[in-house]
Structure 1
Amino acid sequence: MLIRKLFKFESAHIVRGCSSRRCSRSLHGHSYRIELLLEAHALDNGQMVYDFGLLKGDVRDLIDAFDHAVTFWDGDDADYIASCQRFSERWISLPVSPSAEQFSRVIFRLVDGLLQLTEMVNGEQDVRLHSVIAHETETGYAQCFREDAYNPRMGDFRLEQIRFSARICEEWRNPGLFQRLLAGQGSVNPRLC
């Protein structure tokens, strides 16, 4: 069975190398909608695949990091990157271009890492991330499946290459959230009544 949880954020980027000069040469923003699709073949103690409330912690914090942030490719022009960091306290440096396709892959890898490190204590069984859909516009989205997220032909990267600005990290309920993920330190889901 699949369940879907929707998240929203506003973000700005430039996508170098695309066909539109407006998108490849001008900083611009989108109202993104991110859909997480989780799957399991059994239900938990509440007869759910996964309680939506459990996604309001670390998962939401990582996705919310992109809200009102400038996201740039770390291989972009050094002056552009420096300007993004100088004029925005909320920025994210990615080792891949910030296209909808790569957003879906990056978010898949972040959320997948969190879920794999989470101790499930409410009867959740074999819960895993099925796919991530990144809606960049009303008419266009990219959907990333597990085989896409870890496919080096789509751009090889490691989570360690992602950099979140200090301001973003300070706003997380746990400022060490990303470092904990990188270190493989898990968390325990709260027990639900």
Structure 2
Amino acid sequence: MLIRKLFRFENAHIVRNCSSDRCKRSIHGHSYQVEVLLEAHALDNGQMVYDFGLMKDDIRNLIDAFDHAVAFWDEDDADYIAACKQFSARWIALPVSPSAEQFSRMFFTLIDRALSLTDMANGEQDVALHSVIVHETATGYAQCFRADIDNPRIGPVDMQRVVFSEQVISEWSDTTLWQRLLRGKRKHNPRVEQQVISNR
């Protein structure tokens, strides 16, 4: 079974080396929508794949980090990167170009890492990230699947090279989120008292 949670954010970028002159030479913004699809072959004690409320913590924080921020490729022109950092308190340095395709891969990588380090506490079973869809416009989106993460033809996604500005980090509900994910520190979901004990 699949479930889907929709998130939104506003972000600015330049997509270098693309065919559109406007996109590759001028900083511009989009109203992004991100669909996170989780799958499981069993339901938890609440008869859900995964409680939507639990997705409002690490997953929402990771996506919201990109809101009202500028995202840039860490291999871009040094003067451009310096200007992004100087004139925006909210910025993210990425090891890939901030295209919709790479955004979908970045979010898949970040969310998958967060889920893999989460100890479930309400009977969840085999919950996995199915895919991530990033809508850049009303008519265009990119969808990332697990096979797209380790695909040598697409290239690696190096989490160690992702850098969030101090302002972004300071606004997270858990300011240790990024270091926790990088260091592989586990997180425990809250325990839930069972109100109804099913005999099935």
Q: What is the CA-CA distance between 1:119 and the residue it aligns to? A: 0.2
| CA contact 2:105–2:157 (8 Å) conserved in 1 | no
Structure 1: 5+ residue runs without aligned partners? Answer: none
- Secondary structure in 2 matching 1:113: helix
Separation in structure 2 between the aligned mates of residue 192 and residue 71 of structure 1, nearest angstrom: 38
Tell me whether 146-155 or 28-37 shows the greater mean CA deviation. Answer: 146-155
Q: What residue number does 1:15 align with? A: 15
Tell me the CA shift for residue 155 of structure 1.
Answer: 2.3
* 1:65-76 alignment, distance < 5 Å: 65-76=65-76
Alignment partners' CA distance in 1, 2:40 and 2:89: 39
CA distance in 2, matches of 1:152, 1:7: 29
Gaps of 5+ in 2: 194-200
How many residues in Structure 1 have an aligned counterpart in Structure 2?
193
Q: Percent identity?
A: 68
Q: Secondary structure at the match of 1:152?
A: coil
Distance of 1:151 and 1:182 partners within structure 2? 21
RMSD across aligned positions (CA): 0.8
Which residue does 1:3 correspond to in 2? Answer: 3
Hey, what does 1:83 align to over in structure 2?
83
Partner in structure 2 of residue 182 of structure 1:
182
State whether residues 149 and 157 of structure 2, in contact with CA within 8 Å, keep that contact through their aligned partners in structure 1.
no
Task: Report how far residue 192 of structure 1 moved.
Answer: 3.2
1:172 equivalenced with 2:167 (yes/no): no
Match for residue 62 of structure 1? 62
After TM superposition, give the deviation of residue 149 of structure 1 in Å.
1.9
Normalising by structure 2, what TM-score? 0.95
Distance (Å, rounded) in 2 between the aligned partners of 1:49 and 1:157 = 27
Q: Which has the larger radius of gyration?
A: 2
Which string of whole-angstrom CA distances, capped at 9 and with x for unpartnered residues, describes residues 92-144 of structure 1?
00000000000000000000000000000100000000000000000000000
SS of the residue 1:35 aligns to: strand
After TM superposition, what 4+ stretches of structure 1 lie above 2 angstroms from structure 2?
none
Q: Are the equivalent residues in 1 in contact too, given 2:109–2:157 (CA < 8 A)?
A: no
Q: Is the 8 A contact 1:9 1:33 kept in 2?
A: yes
What TM-score, normalized by structure 1, do the two folds share? 0.98
Q: Counterparts of 1:5 and 1:142 in 2: how far apart (Å)?
A: 16
